[in-house]
Amino acid sequence: MLPIDAAAHSSRWRHRHPVDKAVLGLGLTVLAISLPPWPGAALVLVTALVVMLGPAAVPGRRLWRAYRVPLGFCVTGALPLLLQVGGPDGFVTLAAGGPTRAGELLLRTSAASLGVLLFAFTTPMSDLLPRLVNAGVPAPVVDVALVTYRMSFLLLDSVRRIREAQAARLGHTTRAATWRSLAGLGATAFIRAFDRATRLQAGLAGRGYDGTLRVLVPEARVSARFTLAAGALLAAVAALTFVLERALR
C-alpha cells in the first residue's frame, strides 16, 4: 500500500462521507484557481496546510513526501515564464514581468495541489469509487477502476520482490547487468500481471459474474454541519482575499 493510501485509511476523517471532504478539499482547489493569486492563492495554501496538519491530523512527513512531487511539477511549469525566446535583445532573454507571472502560477498550482491532497489524504479510493455509481458514473467504468486500483498494489509488490531477488543475485553490480535485470524485471512483471488478470477473470466467471462488482461500502452520511462549516470556511477565505486585495492596493 502506498503511503498516501495508508494515511487515508488511518485518517481521523476516514469515516466521513466523501462528499463532506470533497466540498472542503476540492472547494479549496477551485478557490486557488479562481481567486487572485495574491493574496488569494496564498490564503488557500495556508488554509489547506492548517486544516491538514490540524483537524485532519495528516502526518507532516507523509504530507511532504507526497507534496514534493506535484510541487516539483509546479516549479518546472513556472520556470519557463521567466524567459522569452527571440526578440531584439537576443535569442533567449529574461521575459518582461516573468518573475511576477511565474510567482503567480507557482502560488496557484501549489495551493491547488494541496487542496487535492487534502481530499486524497482523508478519502480512501475504496470508499470513493463504489459511490461513483450513485453519482451517475457507468458501473463498468467503476469496475475497471476498482480492479486496476487493487491490482496495482499487487503489481508494485511483485516488482519490489523481483528487484530484491535480482539485487541478492548481484544483478545490479555493473551497468550491463543492471540493464539485463531491468529487461528481466519488465518481462517478469508483465507475465505476472497477465497471469493475475487471467486468474481474476476465471475466478469472477466461477462466481457468476454478471458485469457488476458488488463490494461492501462503509456506511456514512453526509454531515450537514461539516458541509456548512466547510462552506463557511471557503466563503471566509474568498471574502478575506477581496478585503486584503483592496487594502494592498
Q: Is there a cis peptide before residue 55, judged by omega within 30 degrees of 0?
A: no
Q: Report the pLDDT value the prediction gives residue 135, as an integer from 0 to 100.
A: 76
3-class SS of residue 95: coil
33: cell is 484557481
Q: Report the pLDDT value the prediction gives residue 228, as an integer from 0 to 100.
A: 92
249 residues of the chain, pLDDT tens digit each: 577 777 887 888 888 888 888 898 899 999 999 988 888 889 999 999 999 888 888 888 888 888 888 888 888 888 888 877 776 766 777 777 778 888 888 889 999 999 999 988 888 887 787 777 777 777 778 777 877 777 777 788 888 888 888 888 888 888 888 888 888 888 888 888 888 878 877 877 777 766 666 666 677 787 888 889 989 999 999 999 888 878 877
Q: Which residues contact 11 (CB under 8 A, 6 or more apart)?
A: 56, 57, 58, 121, 122, 123
User: What gap in Å lies between CA 199 and CA 166, rounded to an integer?
Assistant: 26
Q: Report the pLDDT value the prediction gives residue 235, as an integer from 0 to 100.
A: 92
3-state secondary structure 26-81: HHHHHHHHHCCHHHHHHHHHHHHHHHHHCCCCCCHHHHHHHHHHHHHHHHHHHHHH
pLDDT tens per residue, range 57-94: 888 888 888 888 888 888 888 888 887 777 676 677 77
- Length in residues, the chain: 249
Q: Report the pLDDT value the prediction gives residue 212, as an integer from 0 to 100.
A: 67
